[in-house]
Structure 1
Amino acid sequence: MFKGIDIWPEWALAYNVVEYEENKEIPIQIELWKKGIIDKPCDISKKKGGYLYGKTLTLFYNLTTGEWYGDDWRGDGNGYGHSSGGEDGKYNEDDYEIWFDIFEIVGDSWWSSGDRMTPWEKVKYGLNESKNYGNVDIDGDGIPSDWEDKYGYNPVVPEDHKHLDPDNDGLDNVEEYMTSKWLSDPFCPDVFVEVDFMKAKYPWQKDYVLPKKSQEMIISAFSKHNITLHFDDGSMGGGGDLIPYDDRMYGDELIAAREKYFLHGDPNYWRRGVFHYGIMCCQMGWGGRPAGGRMFYIDSFCVGVQYVRNWLWMLKLQGSDYETALASVTMHELGHTLGLFAFDGIDNETTRFPWNKGYYIWKNYESCMNYRYVYKLVDYSDGDDSDHDQNDWEIIRERLPRFQGDWW
């Protein structure tokens, strides 16, 4: 089981259908409860309402087609088999995300790895009803039949999956399949970020890392806009390397680290064009001075953790904290690799301090891309204000196909 952020239990529940009827729908309700002195239901539904109605996930599974609909459906924008309480537009501490799957199992074992296809579908496709086609690429188009069936593709008719990108996120269907074990979805934009860390100078010091809480803050910001962000800090087999200590990394050193730890010496490594890459280092040099972060390649960025530690006292006076500051500057640099630049409110030196004129001119641009808000705000602007503002999230969606592809 993929060990990622938060809790990843492997819960299973079986429902025995005694009598089959064509297009029979099985009602399913999913609830998530938070245990405490008084158990409380968690909000995992897009519905609005009090207590259980607005928090329960209600679905209907079709025994014939093997699909479900209701509070979640294929192509709903938030991912098939993925729901969160934030979808109702109300964000509170009881909002949770949940990933799930529903399929028919033929046989005695709960854990038999079926091919997802119902008997009706196998007859429709001219297949052997008793044969298990799980992980079998029936039509030879590069993707197994169970993945194709789940997402509505005909498993016996070849598709040009290498050139299909239904959610327009820059990841073609082959890449979506390759990353599906990490919960990617071809109909919901995914952003993958591999992040490596730096070893501390002395054993008694803390390594330079991106805390889990900071990762969660960034993931939540993207989730509110129906973009699923995935951090690989070692949980996906690529990130989490501890780079040897370097007091200050410059351009050539950053490029060398990218080649060694991200591409592993192979310029055509499969993660290139699928993952973005980040390095959490001690400090980095920019124009002869230390800096908090920098985009150093079209898909790569660096964050100077020690820079944040040095100025933490001042950030706390402004209402921020360590995890928020690191999340904000990481999201700032990631934003550059997603296409956020070429706007006067971004990286504008005149917006840093109250004694600067730009600090007030660009106050409506409430984005971590604005130096006024970096280290304090973990979000991009949604363009609510017409004056000196832009919709960062809209621009990211427009530019994902370009800045996540391997065109460069």
Structure 2
Amino acid sequence: MKLIKKAIIASIITIILMISSNTLALPSNISNVEIKDNKDISMINNNQIDKESEYDILDFDPLVNLQVTVNIREIRALDDIDLFSEPDFYVVVYINGIKQVSPIWHNKRYIKDDWSTQPVDIPEDKEDVKIKIQLWDKNTFLDKKCDINSNFNTSYLDKKDIDIVYNIKTGHWRGDDYNYPDILSDLSGYGRANGCDDNSIYQNKRDCELWFDITQNDYDNDGIPYWVEKYVFKTDPEVDNTGWDNDSDGVPIEWEYKWGHVYYYNWWQHKYESMWIYDPFVWEDHANLDIDEDGLQNTEEYLTSQWGSDPHRKDIFLEIDQMEISEDKRGAFVPNRSFDLLQDAFARRNIVIRVDDGCMGGGQKDIPFDPQTEGHEFDEIYFKYFLNNDSNYWRRGVFHYSIIVYYPEAASAAGFAFSSEVNGVRLIDCFALGTMIHENIPLYQNPMWYNILRRKTFSIQKQKEIIYAGVMMHETGHVLGIFRGNTPGCDNRNEILKYFNYKSCMNYFYTYFHVDYSDGSHGVNDFDDWDRIDLTRFQMEYN
């Protein structure tokens, strides 16, 4: 009888495992069909590639001695790492077990300086390279590891570093960071790690954002590996193909190479397989493809790729032009750290907002001082400074736009979102702020102890940074579709107690104290701003 029971139990377990295995296999298959059929993109025959290339496995690139390099591009603390100072970051990278350590960036919350490992020699006949990246905070007694892991693809309860398998055939990687569109996407993006991805946004777990790239040397220096050129694209691995657009679809071969390759797990054969979703020699509708639904089509993602855009992760680009300070010292510039605070809030939610304050070819500080800017003058500033007097300038519909003036007459000197009209097309893509109000009233209308308590800092400069970041995020929220008509607590002046739980910069009670939208988790009369925002709205035409 016991044997019969055991046999029945074993049979049930076997059936469950078979069902689970089949179920787990479905997402990859379904996703592949969705990508091919619904996104109007081509697929390259990988089985044929494997047959043709099987004879070259003894040397994946006979033209060079292969070396792999890891480049750290940017680091951002999303939590308070140290109690009394900014963090002292350093990075540890292992390439096939070989350890390399970066310099220490002392007392810096934001690192925007590149650091690269020394190139590491790789066996010519080994397809995969194992890479580990760790982010540390240097301390007097005990260094602390910072969190850059999503904890999605690991059995560890609280893994903080990232493990990656880099493939020298394709020049792409998988593991704790990967490239994939649609339902199986890595929400933080390819080459970007985010410690908040384990839903620790409201916990201090030393969460950070780390941008990186992994490269290998190749003979023609076009960034496309020998194996891909010879067996996938059928190009000459000794000729630099940078800039080629043979299919005339608006994006060059190097962009389609970087974003057109994905790995997926074959549950039936228990191995990772490659899939090429873009073909640089077959026309694809990149001018209308917007897989991540951020309002940037692939051709626009290419134009902004120099600033880190990712066609499979949401991006926002914002240009800010500012008015000069008068000779009698009226006016002010937005503090640089306000832009970082704005970026922090979006970064935690895997929306990357890049602010051009002059660092990306726009963002000027030379609008002539005017003690009072009237409505029609904003249209003139928009056309002259944002569009460079060119009604077809490419940034319109790609960048959001902000004008910082002294006193915007149309909004009682504070700020407002507004629309632009060019060639008969009206877009709600911009906002304006006045510095006269923001340099004074938010700082001095309440007792200083009240401001210190709510902004959690004694520093007047840091309080100003919070004020400007909060109001910029507020006006950006209007451009993205949050307003009183769909969110009753938005722009609320008179019902503070009723909407106290709506902890969002869209609520006037929090605008100058809280640089974040609400996620609707705080109780009665709270609203989910993050779910409501529409990143495509700034491209919609309005009559």
TM-score bucket (shorter structure) = 0.7 to 0.9
Tell me: CA distance 1:118–1:206, structure 2 relative to 1, closer, same or farther (3 Å): farther
The answer to whether 1:79 aligns with 2:189 is: yes
> 1:356-375 alignment to 2 at 5 Å?
356=494, 358-375=495-512
The answer to whether 1:59 aligns with 2:164 is: yes
- In structure 2, which of residues 411, 418, 431 is the aligned counterpart of residue 296 of structure 1? 418
* Residue of structure 2 in register with 1:28 after alignment: 131
> 1:123-134 alignment to 2 at 5 Å?
123-134=231-242
* Residue of structure 2 in register with 1:184 after alignment: 309
Q: Contact 2:195/2:207 (CA < 8 Å) preserved in 1?
A: yes
* Residue of structure 1 in register with 2:536 after alignment: 401
* Residue of structure 2 in register with 1:345 after alignment: 488
Q: CA deviation at 1:190?
A: 0.5
> 1:212-223 alignment to 2 at 5 Å?
212-223=336-347
Tell me: CA distance 1:212–1:3, structure 2 relative to 1, closer, same or farther (3 Å): farther
Output the amino acid matched with 2:478.
H
Q: Secondary structure at the match of 2:466?
A: helix
Q: CA deviation at 1:115?
A: 3.0
- In structure 2, which of residues 401, 408, 417 is the aligned counterpart of residue 277 of structure 1? 401
The answer to whether 1:45 aligns with 2:138 is: no
The answer to whether 1:258 aligns with 2:370 is: no
The answer to whether 1:328 aligns with 2:328 is: no
Tell me: CA distance 1:296–1:149, structure 2 relative to 1, closer, same or farther (3 Å): same
What are the superposed Cα offsets for residues 37-61 of structure 1, whole Å, 9 maximum, x if unpaired?
4554333222399x99733221111
Q: CA deviation at 1:302?
A: 0.8
The answer to whether 1:7 aligns with 2:111 is: yes
Q: Which moved more, 1:264-273 or 1:338-347?
A: 338-347
What are the superposed Cα offsets for residues 244-292 of structure 1, whole Å, 9 maximum, x if unpaired?
21222221122221111111222221100001111122222236xx332
- Please say which structure displays the higher CA radius of gyration: 2
The answer to whether 1:138 aligns with 2:246 is: yes
Q: Within 2, Cα distance between the matches of 1:136 and 1:263?
A: 28
Query: Unpaired segments of 5 or more residues in structure 1?
Result: none
Q: CA deviation at 1:242?
A: 2.4
Q: Within 2, Cα distance between the matches of 1:16 and 1:132?
A: 23
In the comparison of the two structures, how many residue pairs are matched?
A: 390
Q: CA deviation at 1:184?
A: 0.4
The answer to whether 1:388 aligns with 2:498 is: no
Tell me: CA distance 1:64–1:344, structure 2 relative to 1, closer, same or farther (3 Å): closer
Q: Within 1, Cα distance between the matches of 2:392 and 2:429?
A: 14
Give the TM-score normalised by the residue count of structure 2: 0.66
> 1:188-207 alignment to 2 at 5 Å?
188-202=313-327, 205=329
Where is the strand percentage greater, Structure 1 or Structure 2? 2
Q: Contact 1:293/1:301 (CA < 8 Å) preserved in 2?
A: yes
* Residue of structure 1 in register with 2:60 after alignment: none
Q: Which moved more, 1:119-128 or 1:301-310?
A: 119-128
What are the superposed Cα offsets for residues 142-161 of structure 1, whole Å, 9 maximum, x if unpaired?
21111111111222222111
Output the amino acid matched with 1:73.
Y
Q: Contact 1:255/1:296 (CA < 8 Å) preserved in 2?
A: no
Q: Contact 1:294/1:302 (CA < 8 Å) preserved in 2?
A: yes
Q: Contact 1:274/1:405 (CA < 8 Å) preserved in 2?
A: no
Tell me: CA distance 1:42–1:20, structure 2 relative to 1, closer, same or farther (3 Å): same
Q: Within 1, Cα distance between the matches of 2:193 and 2:293?
A: 20
Q: CA deviation at 1:382?
A: 0.9
Query: Unpaired segments of 5 or more residues in structure 2?
Result: 1-71, 77-109, 181-185, 261-277, 420-427, 456-462
* Residue of structure 2 in register with 1:90 after alignment: 200
Q: Secondary structure at the match of 1:366?
A: coil
Q: Contact 2:74/2:210 (CA < 8 Å) preserved in 1?
A: no
What are the superposed Cα offsets for residues 113-154 of structure 1, whole Å, 9 maximum, x if unpaired?
323244145313322233332232233322111111111122
What are the superposed Cα offsets for residues 60-87 of structure 1, whole Å, 9 maximum, x if unpaired?
1122232211111113121111112222
Q: CA deviation at 1:386?
A: 6.0
Give the TM-score normalised by the residue count of structure 1: 0.87
Identity %: 39
Q: Within 2, Cα distance between the matches of 1:53 and 1:104?
A: 31
Q: CA deviation at 1:323?
A: 1.1
Q: Secondary structure at the match of 1:87?
A: helix
Q: Within 2, Cα distance between the matches of 1:161 and 1:362?
A: 43
What are the superposed Cα offsets for residues 173-232 of structure 1, whole Å, 9 maximum, x if unpaired?
0100000000000000100000011222226x3752221211111111111111100000
Q: Secondary structure at the match of 1:102?
A: strand
The RMSD of aligned alpha carbons is 2.8
